Amino acid sequence: MTPSPSLIGKHALVTGGGRGIGAAIARQLLGEGASVTLLGRDAATLDATVTTLQAHRLGDASVGAVCADIADPASVEAAFAAATSARGPITLLVNNAGQAHSAPFGKTDLALWQRMLDVNLTGTFLCTQAALPAMLGAGWGRIVNVASTAGLIGYGYVSAYCAAKHGVIGLTRALALELAAKGITVNAVCPGYTETDIVRDAVANIVGKTGRTEDQARAELAARNPQRRLVQPDEVADAVAWLCRPSASAITGQAVPVAGGEVMAG
C-alpha cells in the first residue's frame, strides 16, 4: 500500500542526491509531499536528476539542487542558505553523501585516512550544524544519517571508512540525546552492500586485484547478505522515509541495518 503524503509542507535536503541511494531517497520524499533540495558536487548530474524527479512532485512541492563540497564549511553554509532561500527552512536533513576506498591498513596513508573522515564524518557534522538552527526554530525536525553496516561491525581493508562510519553512529546517538526533548529525531540507516557506484567500484577493485570475473566479485559481496543478494537503493530510501515521517517521532538514536540480516541490532 502506498503511504499517504505525510510530508507536505516540509523541505528536505539530501546530500549526495544526484545518484544512487540519494536520488532514490529524494524520489521517495517527493512522493510523500516534501519539497526537496539535492546537494552534490557535480552540477550536470544534479540537474539531470532534478529533471527526472520533476514527475514525482506532489501539489506545490518543488525540487532543485545546490552545489557544495560537504567537507568545506563555507561551501556548506552558502549551499544551505541558497536552499533555504529557494524552498524555505530545512526541516528534513538526509546526510547521504559518502565515499569508500579500500586499502590494507599498512597502506592507508594519512591523506586517505583524512579524506574518509572529511567526507563521511566531518561532512555529516557540518551539514547537521547548518540545518539544526531552522529545526530548533520550528520545534520539529528529522535528521537521518546514511551510515553503513561498516558503522556497526568491522570489515577488512577499509579501516578508514569503518572508523568514519562508526563515528557517524556515535554522532547520531549523542545528538539524539541532546535533541530528544526538542521535537527533533536523529537516526542512522545502515545499508549493507547496495547496488551503487561504491559497490561497482568495489567489484572493479576485486576483479583488478584477484583476477575473478565481475560476476564472481559481485557474488562474493552478495554472499555477506544472508538473503544472498545486494540491497537496492529503493529499499534504503524506504527506511529513510519511514524515519522522516511524523509518525516516527518516538524513534531516535537508532542505527537501523538494511542488510538482509547480515547485522542484527540488539
- pLDDT exceeding 90 applies to what percent of the chain? 78
pLDDT band at 1 (very low <50, low <70, confident <90, very high): very low
Q: Stretch 75-88: mean pLDDT, rounded? A: 98
How far apart CA 93 and CA 23 sit, in angstroms, is: 14
Closest to 136 in 3D by CA, of 168, 178, 171: 178
User: What is the Cα–Cα distance from 30 to 7, expressed in whole angstroms?
Assistant: 8
Out of 155, 157, 161, 193, the active site residue is 161
The tens digit of pLDDT for each residue in 112-159 reads: 999 999 999 999 999 999 999 999 999 999 999 999 999 999 999 999
Region 69-87: mean pLDDT is 98
Mean pLDDT of 255-266: 88
Which 3 state secondary structure label does DSSP give 221?
A: helix
Section 106-111 average pLDDT: 96
In this predicted structure, the answer to whether residue 2 has a pLDDT above a threshold of 80 is no
Residue 4 pLDDT level (bands cut at 50, 70, 90): low
Residues 6 or more apart whose CB falls under 8 angstroms from that of 42 comprise: 18, 67
Q: What is the pLDDT of residue 45?
A: 96
Alpha helices for the chain (secondary structure H):
20-31, 43-53, 73-87, 110-117, 123-138, 159-179, 197-210, 214-222, 233-244
d(Cα 43, Cα 246) in Å, to the nearest integer? Answer: 32
Give the pLDDT score at 213: 80
Answer whether 70's CB lies under 8 Å from 125's CB. no
**pLDDT of 182:** 98
Q: Are 83 and 26 in contact (CB under 8 A)?
A: no
Please report, for the chain, the start and end positions of each structural domain, with discontinuous segments joined by +.
11-192+233-248, 193-230
Q: What is the pLDDT of residues 10-44, one digit of tens each?
A: 999 999 999 999 999 999 999 999 999 999 999 99
Q: How far apart are CA 129 and CA 136, in angstroms?
A: 11
The per-residue DSSP string of 170-213 comes to: HHHHHHHHHHTTTTEEEEEEEE-SBSSHHHHHHHHHHHHHH---
- The tens digit of pLDDT for each residue in 197-251 reads 777 777 777 777 778 887 777 777 778 888 888 899 999 999 999 999 999 999 9
Query: Residue 185 pairs with which residues in a beta bridge?
Result: 142
Q: What is the pLDDT of residues 182-195, one digit of tens each?
A: 999 999 999 988 88
- What mean pLDDT, rounded, does the chain reach? 93
Classify domain 11-192+233-248 at the CATH topology level. Answer: Rossmann fold (3.40.50)
193 noted as active-site residue: no
